[in-house]
Amino acid sequence: ISIGSMYKYFESKENLFLSVIDRAYSVIENAISLIDSEGGTLFERLDKIIRYVQKYSREYKLLNQVYLEATTQGLAGISGKLSNKMETVSSAYYKSLLNTAAEKGDLDKNISINTASFCIDNIILLLQFSYSSEYYRERMKIFAGDNSVKDDERIREEIIYFFKKALAP
What is the signed CA dihedral for 24, 84, 11, 4, rounded to 10 degrees? -40
**Contact 57/64 with Cβ under 8 angstroms?**
yes
Dist. CA 67–CA 105, nearest whole Å: 36
pLDDT in tens, the chain (169 residues): 777 777 777 787 777 777 777 777 777 778 888 898 899 999 999 999 999 999 988 888 887 777 777 666 555 566 666 656 667 888 999 999 999 999 999 999 999 999 999 999 999 999 998 998 899 999 999 999 999 999 999 999 999 999 999 999 9
pLDDT at 97: 96
With H, G, I as helix, E, B as strand and everything else as coil, classify residue 111. coil
**Model pTM?**
0.84
Q: How far apart are CA 125 and CA 68, in angstroms?
A: 10
